[in-house]
Amino acid sequence: MISSINPFKPSAGANPPELLGRDEILDEFEESLLSGPGAPDRLLRISGSRGIGKTALLNALGKRAKLHKWEVIDETAAPGFVGRLIAIIEAELNRKSVKSVDLPSVAVDGIGSLDLGKIEFNAQTMPLTLRASLGAYLNVICKHHPERGLLITLDETQGATQAEIRALATAAQHLIREDRNIAIALAGLPGMDSFLLHDEVTTFLRRATPVELKDIPLDLVRESFRSIFESSGYAVDADALDAAAEATCGYAFMIQLVGYNIWRCSRDARRVDASAVGKGVESARIRLGGTVHEPAVEDLSEIDRTYLLAMAQDDGPSRTGDVAKRIGRNAQYAGRYRQRLIDAGVIYSPTYGYVEFTIPYLREWLQQHAATLVMRRV
């Protein structure tokens, strides 16, 4: 019987039917959970462009942790996330019928003991408050099961305030020194690393395992498409399957978009053929423009967009010198905007002296919308 439910999930933060190409990351993380405090992959820095699958990976890390009875808190690094973490912990302690005022005090080096229920939360006490909250929560989690622990995942880390990242880093550093069972996975755009590693307080995050997400190999994409469609009762043409996989460019979000739209286009005939793939890919590309290309470009400055339009004149990777000439600026000036776009996850450098788009079909989208984008600068 053919399922009527489309298994593909082209929506922000949604879990795909299969998480492709990330098994090694997940296995090494799980091994670190089992290896005890101090294992390297208990602290992760995950970076990548928009739509590359950072949130899906955070979700998968949480599932692995829960398999071992670890508690998981998922947060986004919008301003106020430290306060939200503390509120979540308080709620969990209350749910477990543990009143914060009755919790054992938490020892803090150079300060003495802090009672979680009596700390006033403000910018100055934020690191101590978070550390006390996490310590108290770990006391409860590990009281009867010392092998259990707490995983915190933080998405969109590039949007965090410096004070809050410092609070999290300070708390994590002390808990790790105390051999507590805590793990932290930070995810964000490529510029996140500069933000995290150049601050005096958060330099300990250099010890976090860096994970740079790349596009998924097309053979894995093809096999996943075949498995999902055939297990749902669809007939699949081999050549059409090749075309479908190639159209995704291995980009995680595009895999879901292509799969979703091919499913829609092949549902009546119950066959994945060239016609269904052609229609599905075209629909996916249109949707990619509205959900990824347009927001990514809208968030950029006028000169950033000018740089991208100059790149779009090439059929492949662009020479940085050519881009500088096209925008009428010297190499040093253009280089600043090149780095801004790399940090934003919009372009990357495939080799010295060249730049390329990270998001598939962005070049074509810019070419189609060049006139509109130029008019916005006038």
Give the chain's mean pLDDT: 88
Sign for the pseudo-dihedral over CA of 347, 350, 353, 356:
negative
Render pLDDT for 142-158 as a digit per residue (tens, 0 to 9). Answer: 999 999 999 999 999 99
Render pLDDT for 45-68 as a digit per residue (tens, 0 to 9). Answer: 999 999 999 999 999 999 999 999
How much is the pLDDT for 251?
97
Structure tokens at 363: 């070049």
Q: How many other CB atoms are found less than 10 A from the CB of residue 34?
A: 9
Is pLDDT above 90 for 103?
A: no
How much is the pLDDT for 102?
42
Residue entry with tokens 């749902």: 232
How much is the pLDDT for 120?
46
Structure tokens at 52: 């590359």
Separation between Cα atoms, residue 208 and residue 204, nearest integer Å: 8
What residue type is assigned to position 117 of the chain?
G
What is the mean pLDDT of the segment spanning 348-376?
89
Q: What separation, in Å, do the N-terminal and C-terminal C-alpha atoms of the chain show?
A: 57
Question: Contact, 127 vs 170, CB < 8 A?
Answer: yes
Render pLDDT for 184-227 as a digit per residue (tens, 0 to 9). Answer: 999 999 988 877 777 665 677 778 999 999 999 999 999 999 99
Render pLDDT for 239-285 as a digit per residue (tens, 0 to 9). Answer: 999 999 999 999 999 999 999 999 999 998 999 999 999 999 999 99
The 3-state secondary structure of the chain, one letter per residue: CCCCCCCCCCCCCCCCCCCCCCHHHHHHHHHHHHHCCCCHHHEEEEECCCCCCHHHHHHHHHHHHHHCCCEEEEEECCCCHHHHHHHHHHHHHHHCCCCHHHCCCEEECCCEEECHHHCCCCCCCHHHHHHHHHHHHHHHHHCCCCCCCEEEEEECHHHCCHHHHHHHHHHHHHHHHCCCCEEEEEEECCCHHHHHHCCCHHHHHHHCEEEECCCCCHHHHHHHHHHHHHHCCCEECHHHHHHHHHHHCCCHHHHHHHHHHHHHHHCCCCEECHHHHHHHHHHHHHHHHHHHHHHHHHCCCHHHHHHHHHHCCCCCCEEHHHHHHHCCCCHHHHHHHHHHHHHCCCEECCCCCEEEECCCCHHHHHHHHHHHHHHHHC
What is the mean pLDDT of the segment spanning 222-241?
96
What is the mean pLDDT of the segment spanning 20-44?
96
| 228: confidence class by pLDDT, cuts 50, 70, 90 | very high
The neighbouring-strand residues paired with 355 are: 318
How much is the pLDDT for 260?
98
- Which burial class, exposed, middle or buried, applies to 111 when counting CB atoms under 10 A from its CB (0-12, 13-18, 19+)? exposed
How much is the pLDDT for 98?
52
What residue type is assigned to position 274 of the chain?
A
Is pLDDT above 50 for 11?
A: yes
pLDDT greater at residue 147 or residue 13: 147
Q: What are phi and psi of 161, to 5 degrees?
A: -80, 155
**Cα 42 to Cα 2, 189, 203, 336, distances in angstroms:** 41, 20, 17, 34
Render pLDDT for 157-179 as a digit per residue (tens, 0 to 9). Answer: 998 988 889 889 989 999 999 99
* Structural domains for the chain: 23-212 (3.40.50.300), 218-295 (1.10.8), 300-377 (1.10.10.10)
Q: What are phi and psi of 163, to 5 degrees?
A: -60, -40
| 121: confidence class by pLDDT, cuts 50, 70, 90 | very low
Structure tokens at 320: 């940085």
How much is the pLDDT for 3?
62
pLDDT greater at residue 244 or residue 111: 244
Is pLDDT above 50 for 113?
A: no
| Residue 364 CB partners (closer than 8 Å, separation 6+) | none
What is the mean pLDDT of the segment spanning 75-99?
85
Is pLDDT above 90 for 119?
A: no
How much is the pLDDT for 201?
58
